[in-house]
Amino acid sequence: MARLVQQLINGTVLGATIGLIALGYTMVYGIIQLINFAHGEIFMIGAFSGLYAYNHFIPESLRQNVAVTLPLVMLAAIVASTTVAVLAERLAYRPLRNAPRLAPLITAIGVSIALQEAIRLFYPGGKNRQSFPRIISGDTFQIGGVTIAWTSVFTVVTAVVLMLALEAFVNRTRLGKAMRATSQDPETARLMGIDTDKVIVVAFMLGGALAGVAGVIQGVRFTAIDFHIGFLAGIKAFTAAVLGGIGNIRGAVLGGFVIGIVEALATEYLPRGSDWKDVWAFVVLVVVLTFRPQGLLGEQVAVRS
């Protein structure tokens, strides 16, 4: 029993990271129906930016103080990821906003590859796997014979708190209402005086910030990053967003948890589970969409002409 609980915890922690990235897909797709395949690389840039800030801007005397180091590393990751996300929207996606949908989709793939290569070529040692500092103590504690790391607690709590904060922002603030109006009918929203360009930029900013946080969490958990980490994480995050019901904030995080738990259980209990761990998430997606195309939480996005 303890073994099963341990795997459920491991899956939940993995799912929390995936869910944070999936929120970025949800924000952008929910408003302009763009599948931003470069979002995984925004997550990767957050991880590398946090590492760069740690190595170059934080004095060694402060590096052991998690109350100082973690917020500064997070801030650096958020600033870098948000900046790259906004630049991608302004330079790559906005000129194609009225183009056929295939054009921005291909552009997103191109932006993804460009960002990967930028880190690989220009980050010092970017071609190699980079060691990430263990900012949060690697200590663990036990409950009922199950070992839990403090990094795991931090990951899950951060994902849930940010999900609730994002939901409150979208549902209760004036700008959040403008985002929902733009999502439902951008033309009418524009006629009602809403600056839809500003709304779209804010969606990219929020998605970039969440990806930056997820990038730091990834580095802290695994103490290693490389320029490839964004691709598979981005695909799984998009899968989580679709699985939970794309356009639904809670659905994105729920989808992340489902994928993480399925992957953890498959790795532990299925034959050659570790070799096939990246496959089972997509098998679950196919099964769910076969019987419930709108996703687990059932929110559908209107099709626009």
Q: Identify the structural domains of the chain with CATH numbers, from first to last.
A: 2-127+139-291 (1.10.3470)
34 vs 183: CA distance, rounded Å = 12
Q: What is the C-alpha separation between 33 and 95, in angstroms, rounded?
A: 15
| Contact (CB, 8 A) for 196 and 183 | no
Residues in the chain, how many?
A: 305
**pLDDT tens readout for residues 74-118:** 999 999 999 999 999 999 999 998 888 889 999 999 999 999 999
Secondary structure (3-state) at 222: helix
| pLDDT at position 298 | 60
Residues 224-248 pLDDT 10s: 999 999 998 998 998 899 888 888 8
pLDDT digits (tens, 9 = 90+) for 167-224: 999 999 999 999 999 998 999 999 999 999 999 999 999 999 999 999 999 999 998 9
Q: Is the pLDDT of residue 3 over 90?
A: no
Give the strand pairing for 224-225 and 130-131.
Answer: antiparallel
H-type alpha helices, the chain: 2-32, 39-56, 66-88, 102-122, 150-172, 174-184, 186-191, 196-222, 229-244, 249-269, 277-291
Chain Cα centroid distance, residue 10: 18
What's this model's pTM, rounded to 2 decimal places?
Answer: 0.91
